[in-house]
Amino acid sequence: MRIAIVFDDLIQFGGAERLLLAVHELYPDASVYTSVASNEWLRRCEDLRIDLKTSFMQELPFKKPLNRVYGLLGLHALAFESFNFDNFDTVLSISARFAHGVITKPGTAHICYMNSPGRMFWEPYDYFQQEKRFCQEKHFQFVAPFLSLHRLCDYASAQRVDYFIANSLTSKERIKKYYRRDSIIIYPFVDDLNVERTIPPSSLGPRPPRRTAESLVTGVSVRHDDYYLVITRLNAWKRVDVAIEACGKAGVDLKIIGEGPDRRWLEDLSQQYSRKVEFLGYVNDQEKYQAIANCRALIMTQKEDFGITALEAMALGKPVIAYKAGGALETVVESVTGKFFDVQNADCLATTIQHFDPLKYKPDDCKSQAAKFSKQKFVHQLDEFIKKVYDRRHRL
């Protein structure tokens, strides 16, 4: 089977990118096609011996900071249509925006693993609602025609896909609504995390709630089990502002892991509250696991398509406080592995935090829930489906 893998872009590193690497482990001889890749990703692919193919966008200036602007202008869509897949009998696109827009010949099976139809153009008001530069009426009037054109093109592109795989029920419903296409669900995975294996033993173990110790998280001194944690990209639609305001009102400490365009605005917002809010920026995996292992709970304020971070927290035995929408409904078990808040605002979340008792949640229950979303299960289900499509096409 000659298979090619297609991915939106390689600019950042998150759950979708981890999924891509897992797929490439499954098909190590497959070339990976993407619109544009950062220098970090070019080095990573060279180290991992990934045959990476980029488009004309790789030569554009300021490709990392202007990546979303280029997408709005339609350059990503043109980039994916420029690739030639005539030498492949199977193409697997992993898409949340543009990758499914590739063009394949009739004899080539195109399978799309859809994380979500593009939020930017299918749900623009939710996506841009906190971005003042877009949400002002005069600005949005300028953007709206581009979004309408994107919706038309994206719908047409989706009709060229032979088979859709959704990463969650939320994505499955969006694929049906926006594309009028059916799909099957294959859940993403969480790595097999083990506290004793991923974090030095000296930094773990039972401690009194107020005992101070040195953390591996960028050398910051933390109060074990006495802070809440947010891990996400600092984009407007992630609603990190809700967590900052809620923790300020509830009188609890908050640590935030992640980078993004909203960091400066969020730092300014945090100055309004007397409780400590720490922005840790980018951290490596070991530092992230350390922060999770020592927090009271992970907070998810956004409506995620699925939400790998919640599973990472549960895999380390920690409960999750999540906005009751999207993928969290499929991963977090109310009163067993976490607690929901119903309204996406600071008052509702603050009330939830004030009544939250992490001792009610058993680490083993959290770990058991996370274990249902294993990498082995994901790889097996995906490989099985792709082989069935291949066999059907070739009548084996």
Only one residue has tokens 């609890």, namely: 252
Q: Kindly state the helix (H) or strand (E) to which residue 97 belongs, with its residue range.
A: none
Phi and psi of 271, rounded to 5°? -70, -15
pLDDT single digits (tens) 52-110:
999 999 999 998 888 888 887 889 999 999 999 999 999 999 999 999 999 999 999 99
From CA 282, how far away is CA 237, in angstroms rounded?
A: 19
CATH number, domain of 22, equals 3.40.50
Q: How many domains does the chain have?
A: 2
Same structural domain, 177 and 162: yes
pLDDT digits 0-9 by tens, 328-349: 999 999 999 999 999 999 999 9
The whole-angstrom separation of Cα 235 and Cα 130 is 9
CB 331 within 8 A of CB 369: yes
Clarify whether residues 96 and 234 are in a common domain: no
In this structure, the answer to whether residues 164 and 203 fall within a common structural domain is no
Q: Are 215 and 128 in a shared domain? A: no
Q: In the prediction, which pLDDT does 218 show?
A: 37
Q: Is the pLDDT of residue 146 over 90?
A: no
Q: What is the mean pLDDT of the chain?
A: 88
pLDDT of residue 148: 87
In which band, very low, low, confident or very high, does the pLDDT at 123 lie, cut at 50, 70 and 90? confident
- The span from the CA of 22 to the CA of 25, in Å, is 5
> Where in 261-372 does DSSP place strands (E)?
277-281, 297-300, 320-323, 338-341
Instruction: List % helix, strand, coil for the chain (3-state, nearest 5).
Output: 45, 15, 40
- Lowest model confidence (mean pLDDT) among 17-21, 100-104, 189-193: 189-193
285 and 363 within one domain: yes
Q: Are residues 283 and 345 in the same domain?
A: yes
**Mean pLDDT computed over 147-168:** 95
Residue 360 and residue 329 share a domain: yes
For residue 314, what is the domain's CATH number? Answer: 3.40.50.2000
β-pair partners for 222: 213
pTM: 0.85
Angle formed by the axes of helices 15-26 and 308-315, to 10°?
80
Q: How many CA atoms lie within 13 A of 362 on its CB side?
A: 5
Please state the rounded mean pLDDT for residues 152-178: 96
Mean pLDDT along residues 23-40: 97
If asked whether residues 231 and 273 sit together in one domain, one would say: yes
pLDDT at 211 over 50: no
Angle between helices 240-250 and 346-354 (to 10 degrees): 50
Q: What pLDDT shows up at residue 128?
A: 62
Confidence of residue 206 (pLDDT cuts 50, 70, 90): very low
Tell me: pLDDT of 324 over 50: yes
In this structure, the answer to whether residues 115 and 201 fall within a common structural domain is: no
pLDDT reported for residue 161: 98
pLDDT at 73: 86
**Res. 356 pLDDT band, cuts 50 70 90:** very high
Structure confidence at residue 209 (pLDDT): 40
How many other C-beta atoms are found inside a 10 Å radius of the C-beta of residue 364? 9
Kind and range of the H or E element at 76? Answer: helix 75-81
Decide if 199 contacts 284 (C-beta within 8 A). Answer: no
What confidence score (pLDDT) does residue 360 get?
Answer: 95
Kindly state whether residues 124 and 212 are assigned to the same domain.
no
The position carrying tokens 């959290």 is: 366
Give residue 15's pLDDT.
Answer: 87
Q: What's the confidence (pLDDT) of residue 126?
A: 66
| pLDDT at residue number 120 | 80
| Residue 230 vs residues 125, 168, 309, 315, 349: alpha-carbon distances, Å | 24, 22, 9, 16, 13
Most confident of 59-63, 212-216, 244-248, 259-263: 244-248
Mean pLDDT of the region 3-29: 95
Residues 88 and 43 reside in one and the same domain? yes
Nearest to 299 by CA among 261, 262, 333, 350: 350
> Is residue 12 predicted with pLDDT exceeding 70?
yes
Q: Which domain holds residue 42?
A: 3-189+375-394
User: Are residues 278 and 185 part of one domain?
Assistant: no
Strand pairing category for 212-214 and 221-223 = antiparallel
